[in-house]
Amino acid sequence: MLEMTYRTARARVNELAATLSNDQLQLQVPATPRWTVHELLAHLVGCASDAVSGRLDGVTSDQWTARHVRERRRNSVGELMDEWDRIGVAADASLTDEQLYGPNLAIDTICHEADLREALGLPRVDREHWQPFLDVTMMYLGRQLRRSTSLVIEDEQGQQWSCGSGQPATLLRADGYELLRANLSRRSLHQIAAWEWTPAPTEEMLHGFGVFGTRVDDQPIPAP
């Protein structure tokens, strides 16, 4: 599953990149404010290159991701996508389903594809492409809130998750895509608090979202 998810995400990003103007490539990406669109594309290619070559010292650190950008800063988008295509088969093959519950190329690309589309004002991709990662990140949220009072979360399709224990129970109804983005630290505390909570959430519940920590800057929300 991960191999196919990554391959199709890579194809979508490649197709999108081919349509971008120079001005669009220089846009700042709100979810990753240190990077422009071009720099985020460089990071995606750099991740794949390092996964294939085994260059994983400091993996996931700021220094590791910054090197991806630094080494490809002068490359055109065409050159970036050509490099991604050259290593793509090997990068696909590096993924196994056992990696689903840990850091992997597929979830990184799904996350950053959404970053790009939100930065460019584009609609989000279909649910089938990100649904598996919603289930994974909701497990993380459950661990974060294991000592909280009971929280029941229901998305727009009626899928439910339970966190914490005891009474009284808080009910949260939220869009599945928005839950995923919040779990990936792509929604602010203010945006999370504005969801449909009954009764109002505790501070612990609000701060439970975000595998990369909480954030305070509101993010663009794409059309379904």
pLDDT (tens digit, 0 to 9) for every residue of the chain, 224 residues total? 899 999 999 999 999 999 999 999 999 999 998 999 999 999 999 999 988 878 767 667 778 888 888 999 999 999 999 999 999 999 999 898 777 777 899 999 999 999 999 999 999 999 999 999 999 999 999 999 999 999 999 999 999 999 999 887 999 999 999 999 999 999 999 999 999 999 999 999 999 999 999 999 999 999 87
Return d(Cα 44, Cα 18) in angstroms, integer: 15
Q: Tell me the sheet residues that pair with 153.
A: 161, 172
What are the residues whose beta carbons fall under 8 Å from the beta carbon of 69, sequence distance 6 or more?
35, 39, 42, 43, 46
Q: Sign of the CA dihedral 203, 204, 209, 214?
A: positive
Domain boundaries, the chain: 1-120, 127-208
Burial of 48 (0-12, 13-18, 19+ CB in 10 A): buried
Domain 127-208 CATH class label = alpha beta
Write down the pTM of the prediction.
0.94
